Structure 1
Amino acid sequence: MSRPTVEIVVPVYNDPEGIQTTLESLLTQTTTHQIVVVDNDSTDRTPNVVRAYEKDHDHLTLCHEREIQSSYAARNTGIRNTDSEILAFVDADMTVPEDWLESALQTLQSTDADYVGCNVELTLPENPPLPARYDHHTGFPVEGYLESQHFAPTCCLFVRRAVFEDVGLFDHRLESGGDKEFGNRVYEAGYDLHFAEDVTMYHPTRNSLRAHIKKDRRVGRGLCQLQRYHPDRYGTPGVPPRPSGIKRPERDLPTKDRLAFGALSRLLTAVRGLGYYEEYLTGDRREDLEVVPRVET
């Protein structure tokens, strides 16, 4: 059986250190591949960092998504600039071992899966503060997402090109939740979703309360946008969905951590609610954009 061709799509916005870390990691892969970095109209030196790598590596290409400020729009631009059978999605600031791509391709071939989420481990800094320890504990429960919600985060995802050609690309109107919406669409179309337990990627923890609040506020806005643009699947805007509980702190923690993590979890749930109602009351309706873009456009 011939080995399928693969391209890695990496969206980035104003993160020169993160994209450098990720490219250094991806360039060690032992399997033949192409890398497409999509700059989402950065205002700092991020594009220059990528151009320096592009100059020295023929299998790395920089392209731009300047019209729509959205990581999903950036990924769509990356997809349109590829022609491989398999597409891998990695976020800037992530790292992978040298055999990551080889292991993922072996999983795709052995399972014949169409959509594969990898295992993600969070890496702690030295003397981690409470927000970092909370993030590390709740982690990236990719297997749980796949089993109960039928999606994998786009930071650790492999998808066959034929799937995009069938169901369309990511919904670029969404600020957050585009990974869930796309995964649900793939699942409803009857494709096979698979968790690659032995294919591991690494993501740094969010180490400050401010970083958590920024993320969860965005997640809240995305929850409302999912309802606005896909009410048949996610319900009518006005009542936010209940938390899934997948990332709830475990009960067997030491008492001190259980209390601290529980308080932080409740705070971030409230932040998501704030983001939800901000979007509900004042959010932009992106009616100028097509519903779900296609590969050929």
Structure 2
Amino acid sequence: MATMTPTDPEPLATAVVTTLAVHFDPQAREASIFYWERGLSYREAVVAAAEQTGDETTSCLVGELRERPADPAVRLALHTRLVELAADGGGEALETLFGRAWAAESNSRLGYHLGRHYDGTGQAVVRPERLGTRAPGDGLGPGDEPQVRVVVPFRDRGPGLRLRNLLACLQALRDQSVPRAFYEVTVVESDGTPRWRDTVLPHADHYLFACKPDSFNKSWAVNAGVVNTPGRAEIICILDADALVDRDFIARNVARFHQPGAMGHLSYRDMWCLDEAATSWAIEERLWRRAAEVDPDHLRAFVLRRPPGCCVWVRTSAFHRIGGMDERFEGWGGEDNDFAYRMDTHSAFDHYNDPLLHMYHPSSAVLREDGELVNAHIPALSWGPSAEPIGDLHRFERPSPTGPRPAPHERRADTHVS
């Protein structure tokens, strides 16, 4: 009888090692608390089976992996041993382990990549001060009329790693294979004060300050960047400040709009959340060693499967047709899903499989007590065009004489899509 579980022991052994590494590695949960919690019960079942194979070598290697989940040699040794056991006839315990591991891989959105040349022990941390010593690269010239607008929302109140990531992102954007006049980059810093304005200005074509001292509102910051940047760009790229892009990033994604009916797309399927050592190595490789792209064999990453939002490309007309991003979302979680849903509902929205490297920073994600995202109460697909403008830079800066300033959706209840 046909089964949905592979019979080849190679992918099954990989599923075991990946699942155990995700479970044992303390940084996996930091990569995505939501995805990590959703797959917990599946991973626990794999751990239990891995401890009951009856093979002493396997038990020892599982113990070593628990202590050193980022050691390529341990992972390879465990994978090799599992394949050997399968070749020798396996047994019920191994069959149970493989079955549970495949179930975990089939129901988990959190994977693991460990390059064969990864070495996380000798890499010095790249700090923002060091990036600040690099020449910022060419900016726009007088009279340039960019066709592409890259909008990067940003805030950093912490130890500076988000600033480090932003500077690396901006410097990678200055090293592109298309003419510099073809695209522009806008950074929107949303905070109580423009604390990083002077640091960011040399590396961005436009800098906007969106005053909001409390929770970060990505949607509002993006909308502000889109509508307050001067010019008439035809294409918008909403880019996470933690993304490290390759040299053909602009050229490759713009070419996709030459297809009939192309209105927008996600440029990736999976997002690679790099650890600190891999992040610093990748920054040095891309910027100081001027590599066109980063070699994945040197990276360690937690792989988020099919997440929306880190890099979205849309026609400006399509962006405004759905009223931009939903400004009701506060804090972390849900706004990118909602935007992708509405783009998919109202436009021809494509998905590609480009690499997407997310540079490390301490996580700010939280869940509600019931395990849901903090914005789970906001109805999906309920935002749309309104008489109230989006992206008002002063929306949170001063109170309205009649009370809190309304979100644009409150002026147009009939835009809900059922």
* TM-score with structure 2 setting the length: 0.45
When the two chains are superposed, the root-mean-square deviation of aligned CA atoms in Å is: 3.3
**C-alpha displacement of 1:232:** 8.0
The aligned counterpart of 2:305 is 141
The aligned counterpart of 1:24 is 171
The aligned counterpart of 1:63 is 208
Deviations 1:114-144 (A, max 9, x none): 121122333334499xxxxxx934x2323xx
Aligned partner letter, 2:365: K
Distance 2:312 2:369 in 1: 19
The aligned counterpart of 2:159 is none
Asked if structure 2 preserves the Cα contact closer than 8 Å seen for 1:174 and 1:222, the reply is no
Mark the CA change 1:75 to 1:231 in structure 2 (over 3 Å): closer, same or farther.
Answer: closer
Distance 2:381 2:199 in 1: 43
Asked if structure 2 preserves the Cα contact closer than 8 Å seen for 1:172 and 1:292, the reply is no
The aligned counterpart of 1:265 is none
SS of match in other structure, 1:105: helix
The aligned counterpart of 2:262 is 113
The aligned counterpart of 2:115 is none
Aligned partner letter, 1:202: L
SS of match in other structure, 2:313: strand
The aligned counterpart of 1:37 is 187
Deviations 1:172-220 (A, max 9, x none): 110221111122122222x1121121x33311246x6xx2xx3143898
Mark the CA change 1:127 to 1:19 in structure 2 (over 3 Å): closer, same or farther.
Answer: closer
**C-alpha displacement of 1:224:** 5.1
Aligned partner letter, 1:36: T
Matched ranges for 1:128-167 at <5 A: 136-137=301-302, 139-142=303-306, 152-153=308-309, 155-167=310-322
Does residue 78 (structure 1) correspond to residue 234 (structure 2)? The answer is: no
SS of match in other structure, 2:304: coil
Distance 1:108 1:6 in 2: 11
SS of match in other structure, 2:201: helix
Tell me which moved more, 113-122 or 93-102: 113-122
Mark the CA change 1:74 to 1:219 in structure 2 (over 3 Å): closer, same or farther.
Answer: farther
Distance 2:273 2:338 in 1: 24
Moved over 6 A (4+): 218-222
Mark the CA change 1:45 to 1:67 in structure 2 (over 3 Å): closer, same or farther.
Answer: closer
Distance 2:329 2:260 in 1: 31
Mark the CA change 1:48 to 1:127 in structure 2 (over 3 Å): closer, same or farther.
Answer: closer
Unaligned runs of 5+ in 2: 1-145, 157-161, 280-299, 383-403, 413-418
**C-alpha displacement of 1:20:** 0.9
Does residue 201 (structure 1) correspond to residue 393 (structure 2)? The answer is: no
The aligned counterpart of 2:238 is 89
**C-alpha displacement of 1:45:** 4.0
**C-alpha displacement of 1:67:** 4.4
The aligned counterpart of 1:180 is 337
Asked if structure 2 preserves the Cα contact closer than 8 Å seen for 1:136 and 1:205, the reply is no
Asked if structure 2 preserves the Cα contact closer than 8 Å seen for 1:9 and 1:79, the reply is yes
Identity of aligned residues (%): 21
Which of the pair has more CA radius of gyration? 2
Mark the CA change 1:218 to 1:91 in structure 2 (over 3 Å): closer, same or farther.
Answer: farther
Aligned partner letter, 1:92: A
